[in-house]
Structure 1
Amino acid sequence: MDVNAYDMLPMISSSARTVSRSSCLFSILIPTWNNLPYLQCCIRSIRKHSAFPHQIIVHINEGTDGTLDWIKAQPDIDYTYSSQNIGVCFALNAARALVQTDYIVYLNDDMYVCPGWDRVLWEEIQRLPDKYFFLSATAIEPMASSACAIQADFGSDPEHFREDALLDRFQQFEKADWVGATWPPNIVHREVWDLVGGYSIEFSPGMYSDPDFSMKLWQAGVRYFKGLSASRVYHFGSKSTGRIRKNKGYYTFIRKWGMTSSTFTRYYLHRGEPFAGTLRLPHIPLGIRWKNTWKKLVAACYTS
């Protein structure tokens, strides 16, 4: 973490509406940074396509594009606010303070949820024996960013979004359930979120905070990391990361956990492989262990 950039964080304010969210099933945390057209599209999809009522909590970074004023006019949305961009880790942890349900969903503001996305997650949760799980929906992307995603182009921004075409076809893409949940949209029980301390601020503004969160869950005993194919969202693409000064999360992860994030996602989580049940302790090849030892020495020379 760049201490100089974050040693004087702006005060974070919040607003929880007076209405009770007791009837809500999930609390959906959405960090946003001057991305109003995408945020509006995202929230519209939640309102339109959710099978259950949910608490929506937006963290507004800056909000100088009209986001703050727009959110204030939405009575069904709770929010936290910072006058500067504090990144996703601080944003998510701030939004956590307003959570009123047992389940926390992390959703990017440039995502559009498809019909039934939440029902699939809820039905999976009801089948599980305990709260030690980490589930993810499956993203449809113009350019698939990983083996966890489905590649199909329905537009790269809300202005050119072919919404009707997506709604006609989103269920037609073949994809098996997969293992290795790390990226949003994901869901975790709030007691497990609190057990691991939420998102780690040493990864601010956010690069590599996703695999770090999964590793913290692993250390807490979670072995059920499942991506659900039938729960689908459309992901326009990372529209904020190109505007920020990125942290050196690759090296922070190595210093913290003694291995690269790719070692963790490949040998521990088997990310992107067909889901085959609860994960087991990994076998790390000797060559990979030596490579990680060398990487740790290199990482010690870098600061975030």
Structure 2
Amino acid sequence: MSYTPKVAVVILNWNGIKHLREFLPSVLSSIYPNLDIIIGDNASTDGSVEFIKQEYPSIRIIENDDNYGFTGGYNRVLEHVEADYYILLNSDVEVSPGWIQPVINLMESDLLIAAAAPKILAYNQKDHFEHAGAAGGFIDRYGYPFCQGRMFYEIEEDKGQYEQSGEVFWATGAALFIKKHCWHEASGFDDRFFAHMEEIDLCWRLKNMGYKVMYCAESEVFHLGGGTLNVENPFKTYLNFRNNLLLLQNNLPFWRAVFVISIRIWMDLLALLRFLTEGKRKDAWAVSRAHQNFVLSLFKRQHQSIKDKRPKVTAADCTLPTVNCKKGMYKGSLVWEFFVKKKRHFTDLDPDRFY
């Protein structure tokens, strides 16, 4: 009898009792044979923990003593979880009974696969992709993330155009499958991110270490999105702009990072001006604060970044030469392609311009 890897679905919750009521039953319907379902709680005050204890007493709860965000919350919770695979699942995701097995089969097929994600569709419009991950994540040369099925705010209808599983640059944190040993080798999430783009940073670090990140088309889930931070929230704007700079700092060789970050700051200023012309002053200020925070962090000598805790490898120095560390990176500018050349779909991009 073949070995069935132990899988732990870990849902991080913060005041999300509404989502737990609606979406947890679908997770409990999962039919994978060697499965634990765990709730990690970031010091909720809405009765979430009491609800789980009363309605689902068999579910294990790991309670944090404060709200450490998505990054710190998972880092602390996963220290107490034993499994071969972790699945980091958002509390606002609906799954089907057989959603786990296809992804595990894919990841078991190659020792170099560290992380993967299923197809992410929109819960409220199930024939369309969802912004958070769609059909696998990619990134351009200036650090702008995009997906098969989503570029900036343009969301595609799922017409079967992305039914081929394959290697991507990043896997969404909304339903992130990751091998336990890879999680620990990479030191988990970078706590500085708090939330947003932390999974891109993690996947990039894994790729720099010689691992692969995959998209599994044979599994699909439905994500509501905006469960914790609404898309219009200026704090979300702040995190996205600040974390994008951290992402580049963490993963590019030093002089390449200096060059790209310098360009990105100017490009971000254009976004700031656009927010001002649209009357979104709070978002414009959020961009400014993001830049201030990033620059100040460069001078905090006492800060121990994620770089200090992980193996010293770079994109030009993969530990496993058979792996293309840049696989899934676009050589051009997504801003130029989208806003100037009006390319709205992933399939409009030149496939020869991907590494």
TM > 0.5: yes
| Cα deviation, residue 147, structure 1 | 5.1
- Could you tell me which of 19, 43, 51 is aligned with 2:32? 51
Paired residues in the alignment total 230
Aligned-pair identity in percent equals 18
For structure 2, the residue ranges without an aligned partner over 5 or more in a row are 137-147, 150-157, 252-256, 265-314, 316-321, 334-355
Q: In the TM superposition, what whole-angstrom CA distance separates every residue of 1:143-177 from its partner, at most 9, and x where no partner exists? A: 631652798xxxxxxxxxxxxxxxxxxx9956312
| Cα deviation, residue 133, structure 1 | 2.5
- Residue 62 of structure 1 is matched in structure 2 by 43
The alpha-carbon distance between structure 1 residues 147 and 95, as it changes in their structure 2 partners (threshold 3 A), is closer
CA–CA distance in 2 between the matches of 1:91 and 1:76?
22
CA–CA distance in 2 between the matches of 1:72 and 1:231?
30
CA–CA distance in 2 between the matches of 1:45 and 1:244?
32
Q: In the TM superposition, what whole-angstrom CA distance separates every residue of 1:115-154 from its partner, at most 9, and x where no partner exists? A: 31111122223322x2542111111113631652798xxx
- Residue 90 of structure 1 is matched in structure 2 by 72
- Could you tell me which of 57, 74, 87 is aligned with 1:75? 57
Q: In the TM superposition, what whole-angstrom CA distance separates every residue of 1:50-82 from its partner, at most 9, and x where no partner exists? A: 332421222212322220101233333222223
Alignment of 1:137 with 2:118, yes or no, is yes
State which drifts further: 86-95 or 180-189: 180-189
Alignment of 1:234 with 2:222, yes or no, is yes
Contact 2:208 2:325 in 1 (8 A): no
Q: In the TM superposition, what whole-angstrom CA distance separates every residue of 1:90-116 from its partner, at most 9, and x where no partner exists? A: 111111122121111111111011131
- Could you tell me which of 177, 193, 196 is aligned with 1:187? 177
Aligned to 2:39, what secondary structure does the other structure show? strand
CA–CA distance in 1 between the matches of 2:330 and 2:213?
22
- Residue 83 of structure 2 is matched in structure 1 by 101
Alignment of 1:255 with 2:237, yes or no, is no
CA–CA distance in 1 between the matches of 2:330 and 2:181?
34
The alpha-carbon distance between structure 1 residues 282 and 93, as it changes in their structure 2 partners (threshold 3 A), is closer
Provide the aligned C-alpha RMSD in A.
3.3
- Residue 148 of structure 1 is matched in structure 2 by 135
Higher normalized contact order (CA 8 Å, seq sep 6+, divided by chain length): 1
For structure 1, the residue ranges without an aligned partner over 5 or more in a row are 1-22, 152-170, 269-277, 289-304
- Residue 175 of structure 1 is matched in structure 2 by 162
CA–CA distance in 2 between the matches of 1:70 and 1:285?
45
CA–CA distance in 1 between the matches of 2:52 and 2:199?
26
| Cα deviation, residue 199, structure 1 | 0.7
Aligned to 2:188, what secondary structure does the other structure show? coil
The alpha-carbon distance between structure 1 residues 174 and 244, as it changes in their structure 2 partners (threshold 3 A), is same
Normalised to the residue count of structure 2, the TM-score between the two structures is 0.57
User: Aligned partner of 2:245: which letter?
Assistant: Y
- Could you tell me which of 29, 49, 52 is aligned with 2:10? 29
Q: In the TM superposition, what whole-angstrom CA distance separates every residue of 1:2-25 from its partner, at most 9, and x where no partner exists? A: xxxxxxxxxxxxxxxxxxxxx982
The alpha-carbon distance between structure 1 residues 245 and 90, as it changes in their structure 2 partners (threshold 3 A), is same
Aligned to 1:230, what secondary structure does the other structure show? strand
CA–CA distance in 2 between the matches of 1:287 and 1:71?
47
CA–CA distance in 2 between the matches of 1:105 and 1:135?
9
- Could you tell me which of 87, 92, 102 is aligned with 1:120? 102
CA–CA distance in 1 between the matches of 2:65 and 2:78?
18
Superposed counterparts of 1:260-279, under 5 Å = none
The alpha-carbon distance between structure 1 residues 41 and 174, as it changes in their structure 2 partners (threshold 3 A), is farther
Alignment of 1:218 with 2:207, yes or no, is yes
Alignment of 1:280 with 2:324, yes or no, is yes
Contact 1:139 1:148 in 2 (8 A): yes
The alpha-carbon distance between structure 1 residues 172 and 82, as it changes in their structure 2 partners (threshold 3 A), is same
Normalised to the residue count of structure 1, the TM-score between the two structures is 0.66
| Cα deviation, residue 229, structure 1 | 1.1
CA–CA distance in 2 between the matches of 1:114 and 1:108?
15
- Residue 14 of structure 1 is matched in structure 2 by none
| Cα deviation, residue 216, structure 1 | 1.3
